[in-house]
Structure 1
Amino acid sequence: MTMDYKKYDIFSPMVFVLLVIIYLMFSEIAFHYHLHKLIGVDLYTIGVIFLGILFYIIGTALSNYFLKNKEITINTGKTDKIFSERLVLSLVIIGILLQIVNLIYLGGIPLFSGYLKAHAATRIWLLSYLIFLPSINILIAKYDNKKYYLLFILGLLLFVSTGYRTTAMAIVISVLITTYYTKDLPWKYLILSIIAIFILLVVVGYIAVKSIEWQTWTSTPIELLFYRAGYTLQVLDHAAFLQGSTHGQLLYNTLMGFFKSSDPRVIVGSTTLGYAHSTTSTIFGPALLDFGLYAMLLQMIILGFIMNLIYKVQINVRSIFIGLYAILLAHLIIWIETGPTDLVVFLFYLISIIFLIYLVNIKKVGNK
């Protein structure tokens, strides 16, 4: 049995809404069993979350309105010239080599050491990720060669070894989405892939936490998964009642991430918990802390608009935009927990928009 993509597209931008609701269910399990003394969140915070979801949906609707009665085409000549197979393959290899250099520079495997992990996100790591992730997705999306999946596996293993769960998940989720749109995957393979991603999420997260020398955890891997959801939602609960407290520091430190070594998530922890601790506050938290509710709602409208716009483009022209959409959707899914505090993800959005403007033609075809 093969997928009927036209009938039911499970990786449309609306999957974000479903996953936020699932995340809330995970956190409710943590609250119900009081994992590590979690107590739950205020009803106001739940209302803020659903407002954010509503404005995300509004953003997708606005992009549909923008594209109404318009034809979307791609400049094939420019695309083939810029993204030749040899060039994209070379970039993938460069990204892999940079990550190897980063691990040699660190002198060990950060996945098994909290001290090494604290220093693993070097500028070399950032450059490696910035090059590897779009290159491997574009390579798989544009060129049909099974050998390229070996490069994906090699790159994944290298990024897993850094101990950062989010980058490993972004790589594997984005490649799954790219494969979903480029191959006629049977349902069973798609389900097995999702299960494998879930297992990877649990295992890498658990190993990374257990390897932090100054922390002691007694939870099982599954309990830890539910606990993280509940804990992050409680941080959001603090943020919902501390709106505007950081006065734009989170956004500034995120955008200056290449030049400054400060972690925006430490600011989140300091503001919401009262002590310096790198923590996450869901996709809604940073904007609330920086500028308040209206800023968060504006953020969600913009995200909904851009995600649906890139989605419609990739559905119509395919090519490299399959890979670009896969990257953005993978990070949007991850942002449900971590929040938009990563410079590299903002750069992916910027790169996608630049390519859209340069390579895609959107023309009105008249009223119908």
Structure 2
Amino acid sequence: MKFKSVDIFSPYILVIIIALYVSLAAIAYQEHLRNLQWISSTTWAYVFGGTIFFIAGVFLPKFIYNHNEKLKSLFGGPNVGEKDSAPWYNKLRMLLDERVVLAAVMIAIFLQILNLYLLGGIPILSGYLKFKATTDLWRFAYPLFLPAITILLAKYPRKWYYLLFIIGLGVFAINGYRTTTMAILISGFITLYYTRRMKTSHILISLLIIALVGVAAGYIAVMSIQWQQWALNPLQLVAYRAGFTMMVFDKIVHMAGTTGGTLFQQAFSTGHPRVIVGEVVLHYPLPGGAPTTSITSTIFGPAVLDFGFYAMAIQMFIIGAVLRIIYATQIKANGAFTALYAIVLTHTMIWVETGPTDSVVYIFYFLALIAVVIYATQLMRTHKKPEGNS
């Protein structure tokens, strides 16, 4: 039983994450941490509106399913069996063979270790190295490691794979980016949540550990930035970061449409969209400051800065609908689908702070959707097979 049969990692978890995040921001404003002031009522309305559109996106696929007998018959039937599937589908499933997936994990860890060696230092301890740590090696190693290790945990629960998970978590955490560390940690936990019978006490302890790691990783990463000085304790820093990010979004709301698609374009290139946010919204770099500064703007910010409220509404609706479809598929199929859903959901939760500006996350979304389409195609083939044999 999972919290008395409540699935805590359904797509609706994002609504709770948004509520918690804005609550942290409100604490920062109430305490005036580093002189933060309350944001405008218009910005709160944008947050509420974006959340409503997300809920609508999550609800619509379920509504369509409940009112479509063909879909009920298709997805309510048996899973795709190896004997029922097409030869090309079985060949694709060979990519999920334990030896193939394990090799991918080992290659990814090696590439990241090589990346750290070539950097010549430990990025988490240096703001300058941290900015240079997202190399082409990392861009290949991270999207290879995360799906591979979560698939191993989901399909092949060998004890020493947990050691591989910890090693991988460590070498990617050294890169200095809190989001990467949390993405690996939370994706692994969500995968285990769906594939293991976890006691409620174990779930709560795990969530506490994840929260503590998140606070510690964020504090260490910030304190290592040489050109910034902080006098906040770790908990104050968490609230301040939320308040600052919401403040950035507040400024964006009042300059909606300024970048005209630049952030969206940067997200699918080797550019730095968060640096663009800092330059456009906060006019970075400031005199005497760092040469470049990465600024987060919430899950709502980039779309609003590029195109305005309606773009944000469409974005949130699409995210909700896509998450619901992937979620429904993993509930039925399990295995690799659970791993993909865990990865996509985790990064979407992280987007609540950082914004959807990471090309690697869109790769995960793309992989998950392609997997859903392939699985649905095979379900339809299996569903039609008895009629063809009669």
TM-score by length of 2: 0.89
Deviations along 1:53-75, whole A, 9 cap, x unmatched? 10001111111134334233654
Aligned equivalent of 1:337: 353
Q: Aligned AA for 1:50? A: F
Within 5 Å, which residues of 2 pair with 1:181-220? Answer: 181-220=194-233
CA displacement at 1:85 relative to structure 2:
0.6
What is the DSSP-based 3-state SS (H/G/I as helix, E as strand, rest coil) of the residue aligned with 2:298?
Answer: coil
Aligned equivalent of 1:3: 2
**Aligned pair 1:62/2:52, yes or no?**
no
Gaps of 5+ in 2: 83-89, 286-292, 384-390
Q: Is the 8 A contact 1:41 1:237 kept in 2?
A: yes
Q: Aligned AA for 2:300? A: F
Aligned equivalent of 1:268: 277
Aligned equivalent of 1:307: 323
Q: Aligned AA for 1:8? A: V
Aligned equivalent of 1:19: 17
**Aligned pair 1:106/2:122, yes or no?**
no
How far apart, in 2, do the equivalents of 1:192 and 1:63 lie? 33
What is the DSSP-based 3-state SS (H/G/I as helix, E as strand, rest coil) of the residue aligned with 2:277?
Answer: helix
Q: Is the 8 A contact 2:301 2:355 kept in 1?
A: yes
CA displacement at 1:363 relative to structure 2:
5.0
What is the DSSP-based 3-state SS (H/G/I as helix, E as strand, rest coil) of the residue aligned with 2:159?
Answer: coil
How far apart, in 1, do the equivalents of 2:197 and 2:53 lie? 33
How far apart, in 2, do the equivalents of 1:133 and 1:66 lie? 32
Q: Is the 8 A contact 1:75 1:360 kept in 2?
A: no
Percent identity reads: 44
Aligned equivalent of 1:159: 172
What is the DSSP-based 3-state SS (H/G/I as helix, E as strand, rest coil) of the residue aligned with 1:49?
Answer: helix
TM-score by length of 1: 0.94
Gaps of 5+ in 1: none
What is the DSSP-based 3-state SS (H/G/I as helix, E as strand, rest coil) of the residue aligned with 1:278?
Answer: coil
How far apart, in 1, do the equivalents of 2:64 and 2:99 lie? 36
Deviations along 1:341-367, whole A, 9 cap, x unmatched? 1110011111111111123345599xx
Q: Is the 8 A contact 1:56 1:303 kept in 2?
A: yes
CA displacement at 1:309 relative to structure 2:
0.4
**Aligned pair 1:224/2:241, yes or no?**
no
CA displacement at 1:213 relative to structure 2:
1.2
| Aligned with residue 40 of structure 2, among 34, 39, 42 | 42
Deviations along 1:74-126, whole A, 9 cap, x unmatched? 54533642310110111111111111010011011101111110100001011
Q: Is the 8 A contact 2:39 2:247 kept in 1?
A: yes
How far apart, in 2, do the equivalents of 1:183 and 1:360 lie? 25
Aligned equivalent of 1:238: 251
Aligned equivalent of 1:247: 260
Deviations along 1:270-296, whole A, 9 cap, x unmatched? 121122432010000000001111111
How far apart, in 1, do the equivalents of 2:316 and 2:361 lie? 16
Compare CA radii of gyration and give the structure with the larger one. Answer: 2
Cα RMSD between the aligned structures? 1.6
Q: Is the 8 A contact 2:267 2:273 kept in 1?
A: yes
Q: Is the 8 A contact 2:269 2:359 kept in 1?
A: yes
Within 5 Å, which residues of 2 pair with 1:39-188? Answer: 39-68=37-66, 69=69, 70=71, 71-72=74-75, 74-77=79-82, 78=90, 80-188=93-201
Within 5 Å, which residues of 2 pair with 1:288-327? Answer: 288-327=304-343
Q: Is the 8 A contact 2:124 2:130 kept in 1?
A: yes
How far apart, in 2, do the equivalents of 1:4 and 1:222 lie? 27
Q: Is the 8 A contact 2:3 2:200 kept in 1?
A: no
Q: Aligned AA for 1:82? A: L
**Aligned pair 1:354/2:370, yes or no?**
yes
Q: Is the 8 A contact 1:265 1:278 kept in 2?
A: yes
Equivalenced residue count is: 359
How far apart, in 1, do the equivalents of 2:330 and 2:65 lie? 13
Residues 1:360 and 1:81: Cα distance change in structure 2 (over 3 Å): farther
How far apart, in 1, do the equivalents of 2:52 and 2:214 lie? 28
Q: Aligned AA for 1:201? A: G
